[in-house]
Amino acid sequence: MLCPFCQHTDSRVLESRSAEEGHSIRRRRECLKCNRRFTTYERIEFVPITVIKRDGTQESFDRSKLLRGVIRACEKTGVPQEKLEATIDEIEAQLQMRSDRNVHSVEIGEAVLEQLRGISEVAYVRFASVYRQFKGVRDFADALSHLTIDNQLTKN
């Protein structure tokens, strides 16, 4: 670590502690040349994810946009906000672990549906109706029958 006072490259760590609610580490250091102390912060660097939409256009992944969609699907279902944020955190973590930084919106939508299936059946159908662009009652009936079959398979 480069000393901000004398530009020497060697320092020793005097103290380390969690900062920013666990999102970074604060380190108190001492330069081995000039003996002055300084503080550094270590944070995880997230590489941006590019979302490839159905029409082929690309945009940066927007966590808040995804959260808004899930919140709308879960309106009046009694699912706590903390649960929804944790769900989005999990999906985002899955995306960050991928080696490919380009992800199709279809993959994100399927990940959301997979999570919503275990949270709220109503939210699952609401999200599916927008995500899969339901055209009529038949599409709703198909989604409900798939949900019912999946529930029966997991119970057996």
Q: What does the mean pLDDT of the chain come to?
A: 88
Report yes or no: 91 and 69 within 8 Å, Cβ to Cβ. Answer: no
pLDDT of residue 156: 57
Output 45 or 105, whichever has higher pLDDT.
105
Question: Which band of pLDDT confidence, cut at 50, 70 and 90, is reported for residue 132?
Answer: confident
pLDDT tops 70 at residue 150: no
What are residue 17's DSSP bridge partners? Answer: 26
Beta bridge partners, 29, equal 13, 38
Give the global pTM.
0.64
pLDDT tens-digit profile of 21-77? 777 899 999 999 999 999 999 887 777 899 999 999 999 999 899 999 999 999 999
Distance between CA atoms of 89 and 87, rounded to whole angstroms?
5
Residue 124's Cβ-count burial label (10 Å; 0-12, 13-18, 19+) is: buried
Provide mean pLDDT across the span 123-145. 83
Residue type, 22: G
